[in-house]
Amino acid sequence: MECITKNLAGGAAFKESAKLELASLILTSFVQQQFFRTKTQTLERLYDLVEAIDDKQFAAKAAIYARHTFGMRSITHQLAAILGFKVKRETWTKSFFEKVVRRPDDITQILACYIHRFGKPIPNSMKKGLGAAFSKFDGYQLAKYRSARNAFSLIDAVNLLHPTPTDKNREALQALVQDKLRSTGTWETALSQTGQIAAQDGFHEDKVLALKKEAWAQLIYSHKLGYFALLRNLRNILEACEDNDALLDAVLAQLVDPKLIETSLVLPFRFITALEAIEKTNFSGTKKVVETLSQAVDIALRNVPVFAGKTLVALDVSGSMQGRPATIGSLFAAALLKSNDADLMTFSDDAEYQTLNLQETTLRLARSIRFASGGTNFHAIFKRANRKYNRIIILSDMQGWKGIGAPTSVFEEYKSQFKASPKIYSFDLQGYGTLHFPEQEVYAIAGFSAKTFEIMKLLETDKRALIHTIESQLL
């Protein structure tokens, strides 16, 4: 049984197992400042967790899962570096370092993390695995991610790792080490070249704008703009679409292309970031793009589970949830509400039911949820619940501190009052490492990706679905 402990907010809580805490951390962390933890503290905790887990292959599989299924980057680079330092003379490590790489810059970032934290020399297994990962990439990809301005570039990686050339990258690797490989066909290159031409020829501002519009149009029509880049640059693209209905139609089609959304691994909160960047603009296509972004969110979250029976979705709207946890929590809550026979309750100092218009899109529904700045009271969920539920899904950073002790007693009172025995889903949005119920009594899940819903589907029959899914990854 887990020991009672204090969470980072000072409230009574239960410790997570090292495996669950590691999984929760790497599926929610961008290695940035959090409300209750600094970037440095996060990395220190990551190191301690790897050290605490005897089964180091689990940590390696977690890194592969987080990188390739959830699209998490910086935290997986740090985890890979720690594993390179901690694990010696194991036959699986070379394969791990090869498999964890999704893009060429994963190679350079893992090496940079290792050197920054542990210095040289680089472990042989890391050198061999990362060197073998070069075989995944062609000349276009190597040029795009050559990272010439970074402290550790792709040229540095080639000189250190001596990768074996393949038919698809032989010429590119040779050009790279000779510093002759240059990126062509990417959106960054296209826009950069436009600026250079304008500067050289001394074009008027109107001419420069026309050149940029032409560059954006070529990128859209040729499908050379990745989905994440499309979201990031929507404002500029909208400007390029002025008086060009055909280009706008092409943009709208790409925004709701299910295959592009799926393969991009774009995290759902990115849609809200894109929306906030354009919603106050006055371009002729703004309204259509806003509507299309709503459709894109519904496509991205289309795998939301449909549960039998009655569900309560309890969303933490306290002060520590501000920012990204609030954005993703409200999106996931809205998606669950639209797909299930569910009620919404928000909680902070107290808890209350919310009535929302479920005819709205997921995006509009999520943005209609208001967040407070108060404390976090998990007890209030069960005190205010006024009917029988089959499950209660709590979306939170799990840092409750109001009320006396953990909410286990008040939960038992709720069960007795309504003759109910609901499953408790603990949906962690920050990965701080504690729960409000013993781990074996809850269905624990974490993550910012829509892929999280696939794990949630499995939880009904497998309480440790997240751990088991990670354990099933191949090294």
Mean pLDDT of 157-172: 95
Long-range contacts of 400-404 (CB under 8 A, 24+ apart): 400/7, 400/9, 400/11, 400/13, 400/376, 400/436, 401/7, 401/9, 401/10, 401/11, 401/375, 401/376, 402/11, 402/349, 402/375, 402/376, 402/377, 403/377, 403/378, 403/379, 404/379
Alpha-carbon gap, residue 213 to 238, rounded angstroms: 9
Mean pLDDT of 397-409: 91
Of the candidates 387, 429, 385, 386, the one whose C-alpha atom is nearest the C-alpha of residue 407 is 385
Mean pLDDT of 165-176: 94
Are the C-beta atoms of residues 448 and 265 closer than 8 Å to each other? no
CA 466, 467, 469: angle at the middle one, nearest 5? 65
Q: Strand, helix or coil at 298?
A: helix
Q: What is the pLDDT of residue 182?
A: 85
Question: Residues 6 or more apart from 129 whose CB is under 8 A from it?
Answer: 93, 94, 95, 96, 97, 98
Q: What pLDDT band is residue 1 in, cutting at 50, 70 and 90?
A: very low
Does the pLDDT value for residue 292 go beyond 90? yes
Compute the radius of gyration of the chain from its Cα atoms: 24
Q: In the 8-state DSSP scheme, what is residue 308?
A: S
* pLDDT, tens only, 74-94: 999 999 999 999 999 999 999
How many other CB atoms sit within 10 Å of the CB of residue 338?
A: 18
| Predicted TM-score (pTM) of this structure | 0.91
* pLDDT, tens only, 427-439: 999 999 999 999 9
* pLDDT, tens only, 216-259: 999 999 998 899 999 999 999 999 999 899 999 999 999 999 99
* pLDDT, tens only, 193-219: 665 555 555 556 667 678 788 889 999
Give residue 276's Cα distance to chain centre.
Answer: 19
Are the C-beta atoms of residues 277 and 269 closer than 8 Å to each other? no
Report the percent of the chain where pLDDT is more than 70. Answer: 94
Question: Residues 6 or more apart from 31 whose CB is under 8 A from it?
Answer: 39, 42, 43, 74, 75, 78
Report the percent of the chain where pLDDT is more than 90. Answer: 86
Are the C-beta atoms of residues 125 and 172 closer than 8 Å to each other? no
Q: Strand, helix or coil at 15?
A: strand
Q: At what angle do helices 170-177 and 154-161 cross, to 10 degrees?
A: 110
Q: Strand, helix or coil at 423?
A: strand
Q: What is the pLDDT of residue 24?
A: 97
User: Would you kindly state where each structural domain of the chain is located, as residue ranges?
Assistant: 18-177, 218-300, 311-471
Q: What is the pLDDT of residue 372?
A: 84
How many Å from the N-terminal Cα to the C-terminal Cα in the chain? 31
Q: What pLDDT band is residue 468 in, cutting at 50, 70 and 90?
A: very high
Alpha-carbon gap, residue 134 to 130, rounded angstroms: 7
Give the number of C-alpha atoms closer than 13 A to the C-alpha of residue 233, restricted to the C-beta side: 21
Alpha-carbon gap, residue 148 to 134, rounded angstroms: 17
Does the pLDDT value for residue 189 go beyond 90? no
* pLDDT, tens only, 262-278: 999 999 999 999 999 99
Please state whether beta strands 443-446 and 434-435 pair in parallel, antiparallel, or not at all (unpaired).
unpaired
Q: In CATH, what number does 311-471 get?
A: 3.40.50.410
Alpha-carbon gap, residue 292 to 286, rounded angstroms: 10
Are the C-beta atoms of residues 413 and 445 closer than 8 Å to each other? no
Q: Which range among 71-85, 168-182, 193-207, 279-293 shows the weakest confidence by mean pLDDT? A: 193-207
Alpha-carbon gap, residue 438 to 424, rounded angstroms: 11
Average pLDDT score, the chain? 93
